[in-house]
Amino acid sequence: MKFFVAVFMLLCASVGWSADQAAARAAAVLKGEVLEVKDVDAYTYLRLKTADGEMWAAVGRAPLKKGAKVTIEDVMVMNNFESKALKRSFPKIAFGNLAGTGAAGGMAAAHSGVAKADHAGDVKVSKAGGPDARTVAEVVTKSGELKDKTVLIRAKVVKYSPMIMGKNWIHLRDGSGSAADNSNDLLVTTTDQTKVGDVVVVKGVVRTDKDFGSGYAYKVLVEEARLQQ
């Protein structure tokens, strides 16, 4: 599954969504020069000079300074976004993952908790126990019969996109399933926090044919998930 992005650490305390908010997918990559930086608990807000003019963007907290050249990947544009932390609204703002393989990029990924599926290879995690326990492949391939039912999954976090639409978006793999039909990867949404590389046990409700609009539609995912102790 492919997904978008962003940032966080439970931003419900610092970010609000206006009633008339709308989302629209933009280009997958946004490049620009940093003109202004504003840091809050989980976000770094950037005013960028791009080829198409000035644009505000937000990434996971990162040590960026004015004049830096940045590339933001997996971009999603939000309209009429209100930041409670900054006490201001943005008519348009881009959310995404800060790209980079050097020290700065590594620090940004560490702060934001966002990463590509770099930990996806050679995953082998034992199945959780109990009547609701399922593997990743079982949830994906048996989603019809599991629809609206609670499942328990033990798996490894291979991608983590925090605080998008008030939720953290996690991709889980446990070694089951096949990449050919995407039955090896399961999308989970939760308000709990984790990080790429963690082996977690999550409990949530299977949803099917979920359409969030703006081209983001999923045949199966697990929502309302909580990380089990």
Tell me which CATH code domain 11-112 carries: 2.40.50
Q: Which residues 6+ apart lie within 8 Å of 101 measured at CB?
A: none
pLDDT at 76: 78
pLDDT in tens, 192-205: 999 989 999 999 99
* 3-state SS record for the chain: CCCCCCCCCCHHHCCEEEEEEEEEECCCEEEEEEEEEEECCCEEEEEEEECCEEEEEEEECCCCCCCCEEEEEEEEEEEEEEECCCCEEEEEEEEEEECCCCHHHHHHHHHHCCCCCCCCCCCCCCCCCCCCECCHHHHHHCHHHHCCCEEEEEEEEEEEEEEECCEEEEEEECCCCCCCCCCCCEEEEECCCCCCCCEEEEEEEEEEEEECCCCCEEEEEEEEEEECC
Task: Tell which wins on pLDDT, 21 or 94.
Answer: 94
% of the chain surpassing 70 pLDDT: 75
pLDDT at 115: 40
Q: Whole-model pTM above 0.95?
A: no
Q: Cα(first)–Cα(last) distance of the chain, in Å? A: 27
Check: CB of residue 157 under 8 Å from CB of residue 120: no
| Structure tokens that stand for 217 in this block | 């539609």
Burial class (CB in 10 A: 0-12, 13-18, 19+), 133: middle
pLDDT in tens, 146-178: 999 999 999 999 988 887 777 888 999 999 999
- In DSSP terms, 221 is beta-bridged to 207
Residue range 82-86: mean pLDDT, rounded: 82
- Every domain of the chain and the residues it spans: 11-112, 136-227
| Structure tokens that stand for 79 in this block | 């309209």
Which amino acid appears at position 69 of this protein? K
Q: What is the mean pLDDT of the chain?
A: 77
pLDDT in tens, 126-136: 999 999 999 99
Tell me which CATH code domain 136-227 carries: 2.40.50.140
| 136-227 has the same fold as 11-112 | yes
Q: How would residue 28 be classed by pLDDT, with cut points 50, 70 and 90? A: low
